């Protein structure tokens, strides 16, 4: 319960910022899906979990880590496409809440599949990157790498959306669903591509997470709710807002966690989220809708 | 002119015929209810004499079904009007932990503890509900916001580990031999527990029925279809939604409390948290949320599915060898797959779909005037 403005406080703040990179990356994929397809994948964290297990399994076979990461990204990208094709597409025209609920069913399936394939024990990939010390503060390399990769992925996605034909088509669909098919854009293909990109981002996040966390079937429930909070807080579909929200939430967690106990950091973050939504229902940076 | 009179008479005749039919149906329905109730009252005796060796086990399953059916019914009061809440894990958690903590640390009997917990749950529900309904937070946003409430309550329970036992959970202190009216403990006597659960479930159905028959139901149905239109004909949408939220939260708090008293153990994952919220939502969807017994069918379905699969898997050497301990997740897997199929192909749930089919058959010859009268 000691909360002083000392070097440890600064350490917590900086670690929070590094954590924000990961959260922002996780929120990015979900935001893309919501912005374009107007669907919330409630099983998004479970897709990340699948990626983590995929990387773990391939790594155990002796494949170099870099290849395992590529495999993980491809696996989850494929998972995203399949999710859209098999589950989302049949309910695209029904009530929005059904689309959210149907992915809840997928959540159960993925969790159960992971339990059946890998058991309930904690697994880890056995790579520890160590940490760097600056002025009595220590930061793990894994977090620094994660932050860097997350920023790079965001920039890459931004360039993709701005500069490529498909990227522009994706943004156009997000703005007006009805008119784009008339302009010769195949909506169904764009949805599949977007789902694939969303899945690939989840796979990338999974690759970064295996460096920091143990893998177990319920891991999605640990951080899944947080990602939704970040997306809604930043304004669902707003990617820059998502980044700022990720920073805010992870600072609450890091600073609150270092001052009190970890749960209280999370609890304060959730409370803050609810209060903000009551003041600004469209999120911190969402436009009026 | 003559033609019209004739047509009118034919119509009148049809309406009368329908009313007679409806009266008969109602009578038949009442007798069906009474027979069903009698069977449910006699059921534990049947279990006692029919299956004496595993009496405890079968009663346990029945009690679980009834208690969850009560909680599910409470949730469906909101769910059927488009208020898909992921926050009801918070209410069951408040009910369970409130009562147990008051009993363990202050020696307050659950007879006072339950009302206190209900009041707290209702206040929390209204505090979250009011801004949601005023700001018209619906659909995804409502689901995600109530999900935050669930997580918040679960984290508070874990965080207060000095009192709640953290993630390991805690137990209500046993009073005497474990059967006491004062302490509302009845776990050792399964038959007694069954009747308590049955009574609670019946109360839940009566509440559902009362809400279904009230003007609030029409108001809420209108609001769930078009809020602006509902408000423009003078429905106070926020007020109506708050009413149903309060009832729903109160029911889930009571359900959580009684569930804790029966299990004699509470943990943040077993009575609160996202997993419970998801279970509630999906069981009701599977059963059907628009009909009175839909949540109950959902409870039967989920409990029988998980128990049946568990027994099958434990009895089968091949399955055990195939998946090892992971075989226990097979029920979750099938459950999840069925949910996906339900939402895609049967969004009205098991009972909802069955009743719709029957109604279609019953109404097909009667024609449209019957429809107009039955409202």
pLDDT band at A287 (very low <50, low <70, confident <90, very high): low
* CA atoms within 13 Å, Cβ hemisphere of B256: 37
Residues of B in contact with A228 (CB under 8 A): 144, 147-148
Q: Is the pLDDT at A288 greater than 60, yes or no?
A: no
Interface test with B, best of A260, A267, A279, A283 (most B CBs within 10 A): A267
B135 with A40: Cβ contact below 8 A = no
Report CA Rg, chain B.
23
pLDDT tens for A142-196 read 788 888 988 898 888 888 888 888 888 888 877 777 777 777 777 788 888 889 9
Residue A75 CB coordination number (10 Å): 23
CATH 3.90.550 fits A7-279, yes or no: no
Share of chain B above pLDDT 90, in %: 22
Helices within chain B (DSSP H only)? 2-50, 55-79, 88-106, 110-134, 139-159, 161-164, 190-213, 215-225, 227-232, 237-263, 268-271, 273-287, 294-315, 317-323, 330-345, 349-363, 368-374
CA–CA dist A90, A107 (Å, integer)? 17
Residue B15, pLDDT score: 65
DSSP state of A4: -
Enter the tokens of residue B4: 């019209």
Q: Is the pLDDT at B260 greater than 50, yes or no?
A: yes
A102 with B343: Cβ contact below 8 A = yes
Domain map of chain B by residue range? Answer: 13-374
For A:24-83, CB contacts with B below 8 A are 40
Out of 1.10.10, 1.10.3470, 3.40.50, 3.30.2000, the CATH code matching B13-374 is: 1.10.3470
Residues of B in contact with A236 (CB under 8 A): 140-141
SS3 B340: helix
pLDDT tens for B217-237 read 888 888 888 888 888 888 888
Residue A181, pLDDT score: 72
Q: How far is the alpha carbon of A192 from chain B, nearest alpha carbon, in Å?
A: 19
Q: Which residues pair with A138 in a beta bridge?
A: A133
A101 with B281: Cβ contact below 8 A = yes
Residue A223 or B93, more confident = B93
Interface test with B, best of A219, A222, A270, A280 (most B CBs within 10 A): A270
Query: Is the complex ipTM higher than 0.85?
Result: no
CA–CA dist B207, A41 (Å, integer)? 34
pLDDT band at B83 (very low <50, low <70, confident <90, very high): confident
Contact A81, A195 (CB under 8 A): yes
Interface test with A, best of B145, B325, B352 (most A CBs within 10 A): B145
pLDDT tens for A118-133 read 877 788 777 776 777 7
Counted across chains A and B, CB pairs separated by less than 8 A come out at: 145
For A:139-198, CB contacts with B below 8 A are none
DSSP letters spanning B159-191 = HTHHHH-GGG-B-PPP-TTS-BTTTTB-TT-HH
**End-to-end alpha carbon distance in chain B:** 30
A97: nearest CA partner in chain B: B139
Q: How far is the alpha carbon of A37 from chain B, nearest alpha carbon, in Å?
A: 13
pLDDT tens for B314-353 read 777 676 666 666 666 777 888 888 888 888 888 777 888 8
Q: Is the pLDDT at B120 greater than 90, yes or no?
A: yes
CA–CA dist A233, A227 (Å, integer)? 10
Residue B172, pLDDT score: 83
Contact A227, A30 (CB under 8 A): yes
Least confident of A117-121, A264-268, B60-64, B211-215: A117-121
pLDDT tens for B200-210 read 999 999 999 88
Pick from A102, A108, A225: which is nearest to B332 by CB? A108
pTM: 0.85
CA–CA dist B141, B182 (Å, integer)? 43
CA–CA dist B120, B114 (Å, integer)? 10
B159 with A263: Cβ contact below 8 A = yes
* CA atoms within 13 Å, Cβ hemisphere of A156: 12
Residue B374, pLDDT score: 37
Residues of B in contact with A90 (CB under 8 A): 344
pLDDT tens for A12-48 read 788 888 888 888 888 888 888 888 888 888 889 999 9
B333: nearest CA partner in chain A: A109
Q: How far is the alpha carbon of A163 from chain B, nearest alpha carbon, in Å?
A: 31
Pick from B143, B145, B158: which is nearest to A274 by CB? B145
A109 with B143: Cβ contact below 8 A = no
Residues of A in contact with B335 (CB under 8 A): 108, 112
Pick from B140, B158, B335: which is nearest to A263 by CB? B158
């Amino acid at each position: 319960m000691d909360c002083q403005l000392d070097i440890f406080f600064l350490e917590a703040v900086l670690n929070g910022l590094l954590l924000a990179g990961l959260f922002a990356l996780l929120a990015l994929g979900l935001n893309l899906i919501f912005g374009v397809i107007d669907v919330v994948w409630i099983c998004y964290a479970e897709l990340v979990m699948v990626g983590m297990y995929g990387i773990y399994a391939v790594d155990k076979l002796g494949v170099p880590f870099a290849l395992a990461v590529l495999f993980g990204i491809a696996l989850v990208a494929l998972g995203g496409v399949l999710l859209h094709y098999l589950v989302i597409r049949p309910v695209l025209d029904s009530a929005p809440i059904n689309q959210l609920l149907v992915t809840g069913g997928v959540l159960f399936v993925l969790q159960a599949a992971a339990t059946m394939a890998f058991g309930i024990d904690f697994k880890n990939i056995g790579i520890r990157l160590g940490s760097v010390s600056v002025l009595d503060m220590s930061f793990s390399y894994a977090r620094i790498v994660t932050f860097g990769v997350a920023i790079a992925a965001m920039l890459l996605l931004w360039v993709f959306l701005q500069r490529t034909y498909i990227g522009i088509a994706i943004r156009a669909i997000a703005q007006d669903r009805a008119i784009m098919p008339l302009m010769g854009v195949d909506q169904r293909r764009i949805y599949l591509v977007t789902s694939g990109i969303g899945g690939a981002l989840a796979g990338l996040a999974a690759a970064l997470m295996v460096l920091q966390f143990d893998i177990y079937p319920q891991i999605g429930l640990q951080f899944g709710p947080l990602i939704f909070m970040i997306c809604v807080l930043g304004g669902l579909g707003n990617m820059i807002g998502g980044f700022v929200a990720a920073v805010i939430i992870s600072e609450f967690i890091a600073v609150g966690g270092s001052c009190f106990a970890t749960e209280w950091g999370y609890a304060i973050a959730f409370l803050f989220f609810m209060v903000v939504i009551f003041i600004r229902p469209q999120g911190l940076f969402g436009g009026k809708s | 002119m003559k033609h019209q009179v004739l047509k009118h008479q034919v119509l009148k005749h049809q309406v009368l015929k329908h009313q007679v039919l409806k009266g008969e149906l109602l009578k038949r329905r009442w007798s069906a209810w009474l027979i069903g109730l009698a069977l449910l009252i006699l059921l534990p005796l049947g279990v006692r004499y029919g299956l004496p060796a595993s009496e405890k086990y079968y009663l346990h399953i029945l009690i679980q079904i009834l208690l969850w059916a009560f909680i599910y019914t409470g949730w469906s009061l909101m769910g059927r009007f488009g208020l898909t809440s992921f926050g009801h894990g918070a209410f069951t958690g408040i009910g369970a932990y409130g009562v147990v903590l008051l009993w363990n640390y202050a020696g307050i009997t659950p007879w006072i503890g339950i009302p206190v917990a209900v009041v707290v749950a209702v206040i929390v529900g209204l505090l979250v509900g009011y801004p949601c309904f005023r700001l018209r937070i619906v659909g995804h946003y409502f689901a995600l916001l109530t999900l935050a409430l669930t997580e918040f309550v679960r984290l508070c329970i874990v965080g207060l580990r000095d009192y709640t036992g953290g993630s390991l959970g805690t137990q209500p202190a046993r009073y005497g031999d474990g059967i006491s009216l004062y302490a509302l403990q009845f776990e050792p006597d399964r038959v007694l527990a069954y009747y308590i659960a049955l009574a609670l479930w019946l109360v839940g159905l009566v509440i559902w029925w009362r809400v279904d028959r009230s003007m609030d139901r029409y108001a809420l149905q209108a609001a769930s279809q078009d809020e602006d239109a509902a408000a423009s004909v003078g429905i106070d949408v926020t007020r109506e939604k708050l009413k149903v939220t309060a009832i729903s939260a109160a029911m889930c708090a009571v359900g959580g409390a009684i569930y804790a008293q029966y299990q004699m153990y509470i943990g943040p994952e077993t009575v609160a948290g996202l997993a419970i919220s998801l279970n509630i939502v999906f069981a009701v969807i599977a059963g059907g949320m628009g009909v009175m017994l839909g949540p109950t069918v959902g409870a039967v379905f989920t409990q029988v599915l998980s128990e049946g699969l568990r027994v099958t898997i434990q009895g089968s050497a091949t399955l055990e060898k195939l998946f090892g301990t992971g075989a226990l997740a097979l029920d979750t897997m099938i459950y999840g797959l069925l949910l996906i199929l339900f939402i895609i192909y049967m969004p009205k749930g098991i009972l909802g779909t069955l009743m719709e089919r029957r109604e279609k058959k019953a109404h097909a010859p009667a024609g449209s005037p019957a429809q107009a009268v039955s409202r």
